[in-house]
Amino acid sequence: MIPFILKRIFISIPVIFVLATITFCIMRITPGGPFDKDKAIPPEIKANIEAKYHLDRPLWSQYFYYMKGLIQGDLGPSYKYLGRSVTDIIKDSLPVSVELGLYAAFLAFLLGIPLGIIAAYKHGTWLDSSSMFIAISGITLPSFLVAALLIYFFSFKMGWFPAGLWEGGWEYKILPVAALGLRPVAIIARLMRTSMLDVIKADYVRTARAKGLSEFPVILKHVLKNSLIPVITISGPLLAGIITGSFVIEHVFAIPGMAKHFILAVTNRDYPLIMGVTLIYAVLLILANILVDVLYAVIDPRIKVS
Protein backbone atom coordinates (compact mmCIF):
# COMPACT_ATOMS: atom_id res chain seq x y z
CA MET A 1 0.00 0.00 0.00
CA ILE A 2 2.67 2.51 1.05
CA PRO A 3 4.86 1.91 -2.06
CA PHE A 4 1.73 2.42 -4.17
CA ILE A 5 0.96 5.75 -2.47
CA LEU A 6 4.57 6.89 -2.79
CA LYS A 7 4.62 5.89 -6.46
CA ARG A 8 1.44 7.85 -7.14
CA ILE A 9 2.84 10.91 -5.38
CA PHE A 10 6.08 10.61 -7.35
CA ILE A 11 4.19 10.39 -10.66
CA SER A 12 2.18 13.47 -9.69
CA ILE A 13 5.19 15.77 -9.37
CA PRO A 14 5.70 16.28 -13.15
CA VAL A 15 1.95 16.79 -13.48
CA ILE A 16 2.18 19.66 -11.01
CA PHE A 17 5.06 21.22 -12.93
CA VAL A 18 3.28 20.94 -16.26
CA LEU A 19 0.21 22.50 -14.69
CA ALA A 20 2.29 25.32 -13.19
CA THR A 21 3.87 26.00 -16.59
CA ILE A 22 0.55 26.06 -18.43
CA THR A 23 -1.00 28.32 -15.78
CA PHE A 24 2.02 30.65 -15.93
CA CYS A 25 1.70 30.94 -19.72
CA ILE A 26 -2.07 31.50 -19.73
CA MET A 27 -1.74 34.17 -17.03
CA ARG A 28 0.78 36.12 -19.03
CA ILE A 29 -1.18 35.89 -22.28
CA THR A 30 -4.27 37.38 -20.60
CA PRO A 31 -4.52 41.13 -21.27
CA GLY A 32 -4.08 43.48 -18.33
CA GLY A 33 -1.46 43.38 -15.61
CA PRO A 34 -1.45 43.35 -11.83
CA PHE A 35 -0.56 47.02 -11.57
CA ASP A 36 -2.91 48.41 -14.21
CA LYS A 37 -5.24 50.80 -12.43
CA ASP A 38 -7.70 53.48 -13.42
CA LYS A 39 -5.24 56.09 -12.17
CA ALA A 40 -2.19 55.84 -14.35
CA ILE A 41 1.19 56.14 -12.70
CA PRO A 42 4.28 57.89 -14.08
CA PRO A 43 6.76 55.63 -15.91
CA GLU A 44 9.48 56.00 -13.26
CA ILE A 45 7.09 54.71 -10.58
CA LYS A 46 5.97 51.86 -12.80
CA ALA A 47 9.62 50.94 -13.25
CA ASN A 48 10.11 50.88 -9.45
CA ILE A 49 7.12 48.56 -9.01
CA GLU A 50 8.20 46.22 -11.79
CA ALA A 51 11.70 46.05 -10.36
CA LYS A 52 10.35 45.26 -6.89
CA TYR A 53 8.37 42.27 -8.18
CA HIS A 54 10.96 41.21 -10.81
CA LEU A 55 8.49 41.94 -13.59
CA ASP A 56 11.18 43.92 -15.41
CA ARG A 57 12.98 40.68 -16.26
CA PRO A 58 12.36 38.70 -19.45
CA LEU A 59 9.46 36.27 -19.23
CA TRP A 60 11.64 33.16 -19.22
CA SER A 61 13.65 34.59 -16.35
CA GLN A 62 10.45 35.29 -14.40
CA TYR A 63 9.34 31.72 -15.06
CA PHE A 64 12.57 30.20 -13.73
CA TYR A 65 12.54 32.58 -10.77
CA TYR A 66 9.02 31.44 -9.89
CA MET A 67 9.81 27.75 -10.38
CA LYS A 68 12.91 28.04 -8.24
CA GLY A 69 10.77 29.51 -5.45
CA LEU A 70 8.15 26.82 -5.96
CA ILE A 71 10.69 24.02 -5.55
CA GLN A 72 11.74 25.66 -2.27
CA GLY A 73 8.11 25.83 -1.19
CA ASP A 74 7.88 29.60 -1.68
CA LEU A 75 4.70 30.64 -3.50
CA GLY A 76 5.83 34.27 -3.58
CA PRO A 77 4.21 37.53 -2.43
CA SER A 78 0.70 38.55 -3.39
CA TYR A 79 0.65 41.48 -5.81
CA LYS A 80 -2.72 42.61 -4.53
CA TYR A 81 -2.50 42.10 -0.77
CA LEU A 82 0.73 43.93 -0.12
CA GLY A 83 2.98 42.51 2.55
CA ARG A 84 1.21 39.14 2.57
CA SER A 85 2.62 36.01 1.03
CA VAL A 86 0.49 33.63 -1.00
CA THR A 87 1.26 30.95 1.59
CA ASP A 88 -0.17 33.20 4.33
CA ILE A 89 -3.31 33.85 2.31
CA ILE A 90 -3.86 30.13 1.70
CA LYS A 91 -3.07 29.33 5.33
CA ASP A 92 -5.75 31.81 6.46
CA SER A 93 -8.45 30.88 3.98
CA LEU A 94 -8.08 27.17 3.21
CA PRO A 95 -9.02 25.93 6.70
CA VAL A 96 -12.32 27.82 6.48
CA SER A 97 -13.13 26.27 3.10
CA VAL A 98 -12.07 22.84 4.35
CA GLU A 99 -14.29 23.17 7.42
CA LEU A 100 -17.27 24.24 5.37
CA GLY A 101 -16.53 21.60 2.73
CA LEU A 102 -16.20 18.78 5.24
CA TYR A 103 -19.55 19.64 6.81
CA ALA A 104 -21.10 19.71 3.36
CA ALA A 105 -19.42 16.41 2.41
CA PHE A 106 -20.61 14.85 5.65
CA LEU A 107 -24.12 16.05 4.85
CA ALA A 108 -23.79 14.72 1.31
CA PHE A 109 -22.87 11.21 2.43
CA LEU A 110 -25.25 11.25 5.38
CA LEU A 111 -28.23 12.11 3.21
CA GLY A 112 -27.16 11.05 -0.27
CA ILE A 113 -26.46 7.38 0.50
CA PRO A 114 -29.71 6.70 2.44
CA LEU A 115 -31.73 8.59 -0.19
CA GLY A 116 -30.16 6.49 -2.93
CA ILE A 117 -30.75 3.27 -0.97
CA ILE A 118 -34.39 4.13 -0.28
CA ALA A 119 -34.98 5.10 -3.91
CA ALA A 120 -33.48 1.86 -5.20
CA TYR A 121 -35.00 -0.40 -2.58
CA LYS A 122 -38.45 1.13 -3.02
CA HIS A 123 -37.96 1.37 -6.75
CA GLY A 124 -41.04 2.68 -8.58
CA THR A 125 -42.84 3.80 -5.39
CA TRP A 126 -43.55 7.32 -4.13
CA LEU A 127 -40.43 7.09 -1.97
CA ASP A 128 -38.32 6.57 -5.10
CA SER A 129 -40.01 9.50 -6.85
CA SER A 130 -39.60 11.79 -3.82
CA SER A 131 -35.93 10.91 -3.37
CA MET A 132 -35.24 11.49 -7.04
CA PHE A 133 -37.19 14.76 -6.97
CA ILE A 134 -34.81 15.97 -4.26
CA ALA A 135 -31.86 14.67 -6.26
CA ILE A 136 -32.89 16.27 -9.54
CA SER A 137 -33.66 19.55 -7.75
CA GLY A 138 -30.24 19.50 -6.13
CA ILE A 139 -28.53 19.05 -9.46
CA THR A 140 -30.58 21.50 -11.49
CA LEU A 141 -31.02 24.37 -9.04
CA PRO A 142 -28.03 26.72 -9.15
CA SER A 143 -26.36 27.16 -5.77
CA PHE A 144 -26.92 30.94 -5.70
CA LEU A 145 -30.65 30.32 -6.00
CA VAL A 146 -30.61 27.68 -3.28
CA ALA A 147 -28.64 30.06 -1.06
CA ALA A 148 -31.04 32.94 -1.75
CA LEU A 149 -34.07 30.77 -1.00
CA LEU A 150 -32.54 29.47 2.22
CA ILE A 151 -31.71 33.01 3.36
CA TYR A 152 -35.20 34.22 2.46
CA PHE A 153 -37.05 31.51 4.35
CA PHE A 154 -34.79 30.69 7.27
CA SER A 155 -33.28 34.10 7.90
CA PHE A 156 -35.84 36.69 6.82
CA LYS A 157 -39.09 34.83 7.34
CA MET A 158 -38.33 32.61 10.31
CA GLY A 159 -35.32 34.39 11.77
CA TRP A 160 -33.68 31.09 12.72
CA PHE A 161 -30.26 31.66 11.21
CA PRO A 162 -28.12 34.69 10.28
CA ALA A 163 -28.18 35.74 6.63
CA GLY A 164 -24.40 35.58 6.44
CA LEU A 165 -21.05 35.94 8.26
CA TRP A 166 -18.89 33.27 9.86
CA GLU A 167 -18.74 33.97 13.57
CA GLY A 168 -18.02 30.48 14.86
CA GLY A 169 -21.42 29.34 16.15
CA TRP A 170 -23.36 26.51 14.54
CA GLU A 171 -26.13 28.87 13.55
CA TYR A 172 -23.76 30.55 11.08
CA LYS A 173 -22.93 27.24 9.42
CA ILE A 174 -26.29 25.60 8.82
CA LEU A 175 -27.38 27.61 5.78
CA PRO A 176 -24.07 27.65 3.89
CA VAL A 177 -23.54 23.94 4.58
CA ALA A 178 -27.05 23.16 3.34
CA ALA A 179 -26.59 25.31 0.24
CA LEU A 180 -23.19 23.81 -0.52
CA GLY A 181 -24.17 20.25 0.32
CA LEU A 182 -27.38 19.97 -1.67
CA ARG A 183 -25.72 19.34 -5.00
CA PRO A 184 -23.38 16.58 -3.72
CA VAL A 185 -26.35 15.04 -1.88
CA ALA A 186 -28.15 14.86 -5.19
CA ILE A 187 -25.19 13.47 -7.11
CA ILE A 188 -24.50 10.77 -4.53
CA ALA A 189 -28.18 9.82 -4.20
CA ARG A 190 -28.55 9.35 -7.96
CA LEU A 191 -25.34 7.37 -8.29
CA MET A 192 -26.21 5.24 -5.30
CA ARG A 193 -29.65 4.48 -6.66
CA THR A 194 -28.38 3.48 -10.11
CA SER A 195 -25.60 1.39 -8.68
CA MET A 196 -27.89 -0.35 -6.18
CA LEU A 197 -30.45 -1.16 -8.83
CA ASP A 198 -27.71 -3.03 -10.72
CA VAL A 199 -26.41 -4.88 -7.69
CA ILE A 200 -29.82 -5.71 -6.29
CA LYS A 201 -30.52 -7.88 -9.36
CA ALA A 202 -27.21 -9.75 -9.10
CA ASP A 203 -27.15 -13.52 -8.61
CA TYR A 204 -25.29 -13.40 -5.31
CA VAL A 205 -27.99 -11.17 -3.80
CA ARG A 206 -30.66 -13.63 -4.92
CA THR A 207 -28.55 -16.42 -3.41
CA ALA A 208 -28.24 -14.56 -0.11
CA ARG A 209 -32.00 -14.15 0.08
CA ALA A 210 -32.54 -17.81 -0.90
CA LYS A 211 -30.32 -18.80 1.98
CA GLY A 212 -32.88 -17.18 4.28
CA LEU A 213 -31.02 -13.97 5.25
CA SER A 214 -33.28 -11.14 6.34
CA GLU A 215 -33.43 -7.96 4.21
CA PHE A 216 -31.28 -5.74 6.45
CA PRO A 217 -28.13 -7.91 6.33
CA VAL A 218 -28.67 -8.47 2.60
CA ILE A 219 -28.76 -4.74 1.93
CA LEU A 220 -26.01 -3.84 4.36
CA LYS A 221 -23.52 -6.62 3.68
CA HIS A 222 -24.12 -7.61 0.08
CA VAL A 223 -25.80 -4.77 -1.76
CA LEU A 224 -24.49 -1.62 -0.05
CA LYS A 225 -20.84 -2.62 -0.03
CA ASN A 226 -20.75 -3.39 -3.73
CA SER A 227 -22.87 -0.41 -4.69
CA LEU A 228 -20.45 2.01 -3.07
CA ILE A 229 -17.72 1.65 -5.73
CA PRO A 230 -19.14 4.33 -8.13
CA VAL A 231 -19.86 6.62 -5.17
CA ILE A 232 -16.28 6.29 -4.03
CA THR A 233 -15.05 7.01 -7.56
CA ILE A 234 -16.94 10.28 -7.68
CA SER A 235 -16.17 11.24 -4.10
CA GLY A 236 -12.49 11.99 -4.89
CA PRO A 237 -13.00 14.95 -7.22
CA LEU A 238 -16.19 15.83 -5.34
CA LEU A 239 -14.30 16.11 -2.07
CA ALA A 240 -11.43 18.07 -3.62
CA GLY A 241 -13.93 20.48 -5.19
CA ILE A 242 -16.00 20.89 -2.10
CA ILE A 243 -13.16 21.49 0.37
CA THR A 244 -11.49 24.10 -1.79
CA GLY A 245 -14.72 26.01 -1.47
CA SER A 246 -17.50 27.37 -3.57
CA PHE A 247 -17.14 30.92 -4.83
CA VAL A 248 -20.89 31.44 -4.89
CA ILE A 249 -21.55 30.14 -1.39
CA GLU A 250 -18.62 31.96 0.19
CA HIS A 251 -19.60 35.12 -1.66
CA VAL A 252 -23.27 34.99 -0.72
CA PHE A 253 -22.67 34.14 2.94
CA ALA A 254 -19.57 36.37 3.35
CA ILE A 255 -17.40 33.43 4.38
CA PRO A 256 -13.64 34.06 4.46
CA GLY A 257 -12.72 30.93 2.50
CA MET A 258 -10.33 30.24 -0.33
CA ALA A 259 -12.79 29.97 -3.19
CA LYS A 260 -13.01 33.71 -3.74
CA HIS A 261 -9.33 33.76 -4.58
CA PHE A 262 -9.90 31.51 -7.59
CA ILE A 263 -11.91 34.34 -9.12
CA LEU A 264 -10.51 37.50 -7.54
CA ALA A 265 -6.89 36.51 -8.12
CA VAL A 266 -7.67 36.37 -11.83
CA THR A 267 -9.59 39.66 -11.93
CA ASN A 268 -6.76 41.31 -9.98
CA ARG A 269 -4.12 39.59 -12.15
CA ASP A 270 -2.45 38.58 -8.92
CA TYR A 271 -0.12 36.11 -10.66
CA PRO A 272 1.43 34.42 -7.62
CA LEU A 273 -1.99 33.97 -6.00
CA ILE A 274 -3.46 32.50 -9.20
CA MET A 275 -0.59 30.01 -9.26
CA GLY A 276 -0.92 29.30 -5.56
CA VAL A 277 -4.61 28.45 -5.52
CA THR A 278 -4.35 26.49 -8.78
CA LEU A 279 -1.54 24.38 -7.42
CA ILE A 280 -3.27 23.81 -4.08
CA TYR A 281 -6.38 22.66 -5.92
CA ALA A 282 -4.29 20.31 -8.08
CA VAL A 283 -2.53 18.84 -5.06
CA LEU A 284 -5.81 18.27 -3.24
CA LEU A 285 -7.32 16.66 -6.33
CA ILE A 286 -4.37 14.31 -6.69
CA LEU A 287 -4.48 13.39 -2.99
CA ALA A 288 -8.23 12.79 -3.13
CA ASN A 289 -7.81 10.49 -6.11
CA ILE A 290 -5.08 8.52 -4.32
CA LEU A 291 -7.43 8.20 -1.35
CA VAL A 292 -10.13 6.89 -3.66
CA ASP A 293 -7.81 4.24 -5.07
CA VAL A 294 -6.91 3.15 -1.56
CA LEU A 295 -10.58 3.02 -0.57
CA TYR A 296 -11.34 0.80 -3.57
CA ALA A 297 -9.08 -1.82 -2.14
CA VAL A 298 -10.62 -1.52 1.30
CA ILE A 299 -14.18 -1.86 0.00
CA ASP A 300 -13.52 -4.53 -2.59
CA PRO A 301 -10.63 -6.91 -1.90
CA ARG A 302 -10.69 -8.04 -5.55
CA ILE A 303 -9.26 -4.63 -6.48
CA LYS A 304 -5.59 -4.45 -5.73
CA VAL A 305 -3.90 -1.09 -5.31
CA SER A 306 -0.91 -2.19 -7.31
Partner 1 sequence: MKKIYGIILALIILVIAWNFFGPKKFHSHPEKEFRFVIASEPPTLDWSLATDNVSADILFNLMEGLIQFDSDLNVKPALAERWDISSDGKRYTFHLRSDALWTDGKPILASHFVDGWERLLNPKTASDYAYFLFDVKNAKEYNAGKLTDFDTVGIHAQDDHTLVVDLWHPASYFLKIPFFWVTFPIRKDIIEQFKDAWTDPKNIVTCGPFRLKEWKHDYSVTLEANPSYYGEKPKISTATAYIINEDSTALSLYDTNKVDLIRRIPPLLISHYKNLADYKNSPFLRGYYYGMNVKKKPFTDSRIRKAFSLAIDRSQLSTILQGNQIPTSSWIPKGMFGYDETIGLKFDKEKAQLLLAQAGYPKGEHFPSIKMVYDTRDDNKIIAEFLQSQWKEHLNVTVSIDNQEWKVHLKMLETNPPELWRLGWGADFPDPDNFMNLFTSYSGNNHTQWKNKEYDQLIEEAAKELDSQKRLTLYQKAQHLLTEEDVPIIPLFIDSQNVLLKSYVKGYTLNPMSNNILKNISISKND
* The one segment of 62-70, 185-193, 195-203, 267-275 that binds partner 1 by CB under 8 A: 267-275
Calpha distance 254→259 (Å, rounded):
11
Taking the complex as a whole, the smallest distance from the CB of residue 11 to partner 1 amounts, in Å, to: 34
Q: Which of 58, 73, 83, 301 binds partner 1 (CB under 8 A)?
A: 83
Rule CB under 8 A: say whether 171 interacts with partner 1.
Answer: yes
C-alpha to C-alpha distances, 183 to 126, 129, 162, 188, nearest whole angstrom: 22, 17, 22, 9
Calpha distance 66→60 (Å, rounded):
10
Footprint of partner 1 on 48-77 (CB under 8 A): 48-49, 51-53
Q: Which of 76, 162, 245, 272 binds partner 1 (CB under 8 A)?
A: 162
Rule CB under 8 A: say whether 37 interacts with partner 1.
Answer: yes
Rule CB under 8 A: say whether 26 interacts with partner 1.
Answer: no
Torsion of CA 224, 225, 231, 232, to 10 degrees: 160
Q: Which of 3, 58, 124, 159 binds partner 1 (CB under 8 A)?
A: 159
Helices (H) and strands (E) in the chain, counts: 13, 0
C-alpha to C-alpha distances, 59 to 25, 27, 41, 64, 255, nearest whole angstrom: 9, 12, 22, 9, 36
* The one segment of 11-19, 169-177, 197-205, 231-239 that binds partner 1 by CB under 8 A: 169-177
Judged by CB under 8 A, the number of residues near partner 1 is 53
CB 207: neighbour CB atoms within 10 A?
11
Task: Summarize as ranges the residues that interact with partner 1 (CB under 8 A).
Answer: 31-33, 35-45, 48-49, 51-53, 80-84, 89, 92-93, 148, 151, 155-156, 159, 162-171, 220, 251-254, 256-257, 260, 267-269
